[in-house]
Amino acid sequence: MLRLKIEKRLTPTWKVVFSVTVLSIFLAFFVIGFIFLGYGINPVKAYIEILIETVGNFYGITQILWQSIPLLLCGVGLLLAFKASFWNIGAEGQLLMGSLGATWAALFSGLPDFLLIPMIFILGFAGGAIWGLVSTVLKAKFKVNEVITTLMMNYIAMNIILYLIHGPWKGEEMKGFAYTNSFPQPAWLPTLGMSYIHWPTLIMGLVAVAVIYLIISRTKLGYEVKVIGQSQKAAKYAGISYFQTIFWVMLISGGCAGLAGAGEVAGVHHMLRHPDQISLGYGYTGIIVAWLARGNPIVTILTSLLFGAIYVAGDVMQLSFGLPFQIVNVFTGMILFFLISSDHLMRYKISFRREE
Amino acid sequence: MEWQLWIIETLRRALAYGTPLLLGTLGEIYTERSGILNLGVEGMMILGAFTGFVTTFVTGNPWIGFLMGALVGGAASLIHAFLSINLRVIQVVSGLALTLFGLGLTGVLGRGWEGQPLKVSLEMFSVPYLKEIPILGPIVFTEQNVLVYIGIGFALLLWIVLFKTSWGITIRSVGEDPATADALGINIPLVRYLCTFIGGVLAGIGGAYLSIIYRPSWTQGMTSGMGWIVIALTIFSLWHPLMAIVGSYIFGSLFYLSFRLQPWVAPELLTIMPYLFTILAPMFLNVHRTLRRRMGAPAALGIPYSREEE
C-alpha cells in the first residue's frame, strides 16, 4: 500500500524553488485564462499570440528589455530594503520624485549641455533617496509604520507632480495640455538603434545589481542588513544601529527607484507628464520583482525581464484583444498569491512510500 | 455669524465623508484584534465599490448593492484569511497581493461601466425634532444619509461586543496570547476567520458607499488610498471602535475641506492633506509619552499561530 509521507525540511533546494516558482506563474496564467473566457477570447489562442508578439520576434524582445529597465532598478532596490525587513512599498513615489528631480535638472538648472545628463541622474537619485528617507526617519525616530508612510508618500508624490504640471511647470509650448515643455535635445538619453532602449539607464540598473550584490555579500553593511532582517532584537544586542543601517538601505533603495524615474522622463517621454503615464505601476510591480528573486540581487535581472514581458503582453492584450492594461495588475497580484502560498508548501517534503 | 455656519457645515459634511473610513476602520480593528494584519483593505474596498455600483445599477436598489459589496468584500478577505491562517504566509505580502489583485480586476472588469451615472441612490434626510437641537442638530441630524447612522450604530455595537461581552474577551485573547487561548479550548482559526471576514464585509460596505453615495458613479481606482488611510486610522484609534469614530470624522473633515478650499488653494495640494496627516498624526501621538505606552498593537498581530514548535 502506498503511504504518503510528509517531512519538514529546513531549506528547500534551488531546484524546488525554481520549479515551484515556474509552477506558480503557470497557475496564475491558468486562472487568468478564465478572464479571457469571460471576454469570449480563447485563452490558448490568446497565449500563443501573446508569445509570438513578445518573445517571438525581435521588436518584441527590444520592447521587453525596454520595459524591464525601470522594473530592474525598482526591484533590486526593494530587494535590499526587504532584506532588512523594511517594507518599502513606496518605490512608486520614489520613482516619481526621481522623475521630478530629473525634470528640474533638464529644464531649469541652466547647466551646460554636457553636464545635463549626469545631473539628471544625480538629481533623479537624490529625489528618490530623499523620498525614501522620510519614511526611514519616521520609522526609526518616531516608530511610525513604514508600510503606511511609504504608501502615503506615493500619493503625495503623485499630487505634487500633478500640481507642477497643471501649475508652475506647465509648458507654454504645450497649449492646453498638462505637460512641461519638452526637454532640450542634449538632455535626451541616447537609445540603442531604432529601439526605445535608453541604454544609460539600463547600465545603471546592471551597476545597481552589482553594487547591491557586493553590499549584501561582502560588506559590514550587508551583514548588518541581514541581522536586522532576521531579528531587530538580535541586531540591538549586537550593537547595530537600526537607524544608521536603514538610512543607507533606504538611500540606495529610494535612489535606485529615483534613477528609474529619471530614465523614464529623460529616456522615454522627454517631459514631465501625468504620473500614470510616467509610471505604469513600476514601483508596485517592483515589489514582486524583488520578492520573486528571493533575496538574490542577480536574479532580479531575470525577474525584471519576466515582468517586462508581462508588461509587453499587457500591451498586446490591449491592442489585439481590447482588454484594459489593468490586466497586468491582475497577473502580478495572482502570481504573488501563488508564490507566497507555495512558500509554505516548499518547507515540506512529500514522498510516497510503498509499504507491505 | 458666517464662520460659525461654515464650521457647522464642515462638521456636517465630515460625517458623510468619514463614514466609509469609519466602516473600514471598524472592520480592520476586528481583524487586527484577532491577530491578523490585513493590508488588503484597499483591494477589498475597491471590489466592494465596483460590485456595489454594478448591482445597484442593474437592480435599481442600492440596498442590494450594499449587500453584494459586503459579500464580495467578505469573500476577498477569506483569501487573505486562508493564506494567513492555513498557509501561514507573510501577511504583509498577502495583503499587498490582495490590493494589487482587487485594483487590477476592477480595472479590467469596470472599464465599460466608467462614466455611467447611477440614477438611484440613498436619499438624504433630516431627523424631525432632533434637528432642532442647537449645534448637534444641524451637524448630526440635518441632511444626512442613513449609512452615517448605520456606521455610528456599528461602532457602538462593535464596541459593546469587543469590551463588554465574553465574545470580545475571546477575540482579544486570540490576538494577544493565542497559545493560552488555545489551551483554554478556543478555536483560534475560527475566531480569526470570523474577524477577518467581518473586516472584509465592512470594507466592502465602505467601498460600496463610495460608488453609491459619495460619488454615485464608478471610476477605476476610486478608493484612491482610502484603504491605506483605514489601516493608519486603525492604529490612531488604538484598536478601539469608539476612537475610530473620532479619527474617521477628523479625516472626513479633511476630505471635505480639500474640496471646499479649492477656490483658494490648488486642488492637487489640498488632496495631499489627508495623506500628509496620515503620516504626521502618529508622529505626534508617539511623542506623547502616555499615549505611546497605550499604542501597543495586539501582541500576536501578524504572527501566524501553529501548535507545532517552530
Is some CB atom of chain A closer than 8 A to the CB atom of B108? yes
Is some CB atom of chain A closer than 8 A to the CB atom of B265? no
- Which neighbouring-strand residues pair with A353? A3
Among A137-151, B83-97, B124-138, name the one with the lowest average pLDDT.
Answer: B124-138
Predicted ipTM? Answer: 0.87
What's the pTM value of the predicted model, to 2 decimals? 0.89
Q: What does the block give as the cell for A224?
A: 548588518
Looking at A195-236, which runs of residues are DSSP E strands?
none
Note the pLDDT tens digit of each residue in B108-158: 898 889 888 888 878 888 888 888 888 788 888 888 899 999 999 999 999
User: Which of A166, A331, A340 is opposite residue B94, by nearest beta carbon?
Assistant: A340
Name chain B contacts of A323, Cβ cutoff 8 Å: 108
Q: Do A159 and B268 touch (CB under 8 A)?
A: yes
Note the pLDDT tens digit of each residue in A227-240: 999 988 889 898 99
Is some CB atom of chain B closer than 8 A to the CB atom of A323? yes
Which residues 6+ apart lie within 8 Å of B196 measured at CB? Answer: B31, B34, B36, B38, B77, B78, B80, B81, B84, B85
The SS3 call for residue A351 is strand
**pLDDT at residue B309 greater than cutoff 50:** no
Among A9-13, A138-142, B90-94, B270-274, name the one with the lowest average pLDDT.
Answer: A9-13
Domains and CATH numbers, chain B: 2-114+123-294 (1.10.3470)
* Mean pLDDT across B274-289: 77
* CATH number given to A66-320: 1.10.3470
C-beta of residue A300 within 8 angstroms of C-beta of residue A68: no
Q: Do B96 and A336 touch (CB under 8 A)?
A: yes
Identity of residue B123: E
Note the pLDDT tens digit of each residue in A199-256: 999 999 999 999 999 999 999 999 999 999 998 888 989 899 999 999 999 999 999 9
Dihedral of the CA atoms B281, B283, B288, B291 (nearest 10)?
70
Note the pLDDT tens digit of each residue in A145-174: 888 899 899 999 999 999 999 989 998 876
- Position A4 scores a pLDDT of 66
- What is the C-alpha to C-alpha distance for residues A231 and B178, in angstroms, rounded to an integer? 21
* Mean pLDDT across B171-182: 92
Is some CB atom of chain A closer than 8 A to the CB atom of B102? yes
C-beta of residue A95 within 8 angstroms of C-beta of residue A154: no
- What is the C-alpha to C-alpha distance for residues A277 and A161, in angstroms, rounded to an integer? 12
CA atoms within 13 A on the CB side of B286: 15
The SS3 call for residue A7 is strand
DSSP 8-state class, residue B96? H
Identity of residue A211: V
Name chain A contacts of B269, Cβ cutoff 8 Å: 159, 163
Which residues 6+ apart lie within 8 Å of A2 measured at CB? Answer: A352, A353, A354, A355
Q: Which helix (H) or strand (E) holds B100?
A: helix B91-109
- What is the C-alpha to C-alpha distance for residues A15 and B254, in angstroms, rounded to an integer? 53
Q: Which helix (H) or strand (E) holds A240?
A: none
Rg (CA), chain B: 20
From residue A296, alpha-carbon distances to A85, B111, B172 in Å are 15, 38, 39
Measured distance between the N- and C-terminal CA atoms of chain B, rounded to whole angstroms: 66
Name chain A contacts of B279, Cβ cutoff 8 Å: 134, 138, 144, 148-149, 152-153
Q: Do B268 and A160 touch (CB under 8 A)?
A: yes
- Position B310 scores a pLDDT of 43
- Position B112 scores a pLDDT of 85
Identity of residue A337: F
The percent of residues above 90 in pLDDT, for chain B, comes to 58
User: How far off is chain B from A71, nearest CA to CA, in Å?
Assistant: 16
Q: Do B103 and A156 touch (CB under 8 A)?
A: no
C-beta of residue B295 within 8 angstroms of C-beta of residue B285: yes
Q: Which residue has the higher pLDDT, A341 or A241?
A: A241
From residue A276, alpha-carbon distances to A36, A138, A273, A310, B98 in Å are 25, 27, 8, 18, 21
User: Which of B108, B269, B283 is opposite residue A35, by nearest beta carbon?
Assistant: B108
Mutate which: A34, A36, A147, vs B, most B CBs within 10 A: A147
Note the pLDDT tens digit of each residue in B248-279: 999 999 989 988 888 888 888 888 988 998 88
Domain residue spans in chain A?
1-39+323-356, 66-320
- Position B293 scores a pLDDT of 57
Locus of grid cell 489627508: B274
Name chain B contacts of A87, Cβ cutoff 8 Å: 92
Q: How confident is the model at residue B291 (pLDDT cuts 50, 70, 90)?
A: low
Residue of B nearest to A149 (CA): B279
**pLDDT at residue A277 greater than cutoff 50:** yes
- Position B60 scores a pLDDT of 92
Name chain A contacts of B232, Cβ cutoff 8 Å: 145, 148, 152
- Position A216 scores a pLDDT of 95
C-beta of residue A58 within 8 angstroms of C-beta of residue A272: no
Among A98-102, A313-317, B14-18, name the one with the lowest average pLDDT.
Answer: A313-317
Q: How confident is the model at residue B307 (pLDDT cuts 50, 70, 90)?
A: confident
Q: Do B108 and A323 touch (CB under 8 A)?
A: yes
C-beta of residue B13 within 8 angstroms of C-beta of residue B261: no
* Mean pLDDT across B227-255: 91
C-beta of residue A104 within 8 angstroms of C-beta of residue A167: no
- What is the C-alpha to C-alpha distance for residues A24 and A20, in angstroms, rounded to an integer? 6
- A 90-149 near B (Cβ less than 8 A): 134, 138, 142-145, 147-149
Residue B152, classified by CB atoms within 10 Å of its CB into exposed (0-12), middle (13-18) or buried (19+), is middle
User: Which of A152, A153, A344 is opposite residue B88, by nearest beta carbon?
Assistant: A344
* Mean pLDDT across A124-144: 93
Residue A106, classified by CB atoms within 10 Å of its CB into exposed (0-12), middle (13-18) or buried (19+), is buried
The SS3 call for residue A89 is coil
Name chain A contacts of B100, Cβ cutoff 8 Å: 284, 329, 332-333, 336
Q: Which helix (H) or strand (E) holds A354?
A: strand A348-354
From residue B235, alpha-carbon distances to A273, A275, B25, B217, B280 in Å are 35, 29, 9, 31, 13
Note the pLDDT tens digit of each residue in A188-201: 999 998 889 999 99
* Mean pLDDT across B9-31: 94
C-beta of residue B109 within 8 angstroms of C-beta of residue A36: no
